[in-house]
Amino acid sequence: MSWQDFIDKGLLEGGIVREAAIFGIEGGIWAQSAGCNISEDEQRAIVDGLNDPPLREIRVGGRKYRCTMSSLDVILSKLSIPEPSDGRMRGGGGCIIKKTNQAVIVAEYPSKSSEIDVLAGVEQLGNYFITQGY
């Protein structure tokens, strides 16, 4: 299986993940979905945050996420979008990040998806990478 297959078949195929990417801990995108554009600065900030939790917020593809949980290998976060009519914040999905030995998996999901389901898929893929030495 190619790195792109892990994105397309492992994360996006079920429809609960909107955008996804895999990048190296040392930087550099290994695979990503068409609309996922994680900058080098965002990649570095994510790895730095995983190495020194807890985090308050992260940016993925220019979108700001509020971290609800961060550890040495997982970040759970929620996207907040201002409501156009009153400026109040409403939930807009989230982002789950998993660090393995050599890679970081990023999965952005819409508000209709269950965080638990996305986390289970990302954890399963991350644990597979770890068993394979990645």
Tens of pLDDT, residue by residue over 40-73, are 999 999 999 999 999 999 999 999 999 999 999 9
CA dihedral sign of residues 20, 96, 70, 133:
negative
Give CA–CA dist 132/33, Å, rounded: 23
What pLDDT is attached to residue 90?
A: 54
Tallying the residues shown for the chain, one arrives at 134
Nearest to 17 by CA among 105, 134, 129: 105
Residue 87 has pLDDT above 60, yes or no: no
Residue 127 has pLDDT above 60, yes or no: yes
- Across the range 103-123, mean pLDDT stands at 96
Give CA–CA dist 19/24, Å, rounded: 17
Tens of pLDDT, residue by residue over 12-45, are 999 999 999 999 999 999 999 999 999 999 999 9
Residues contacting residue 80 through CB under 8 Å, at least 6 positions apart:
64, 66, 89, 90, 91, 92
What pLDDT is attached to residue 80?
A: 74
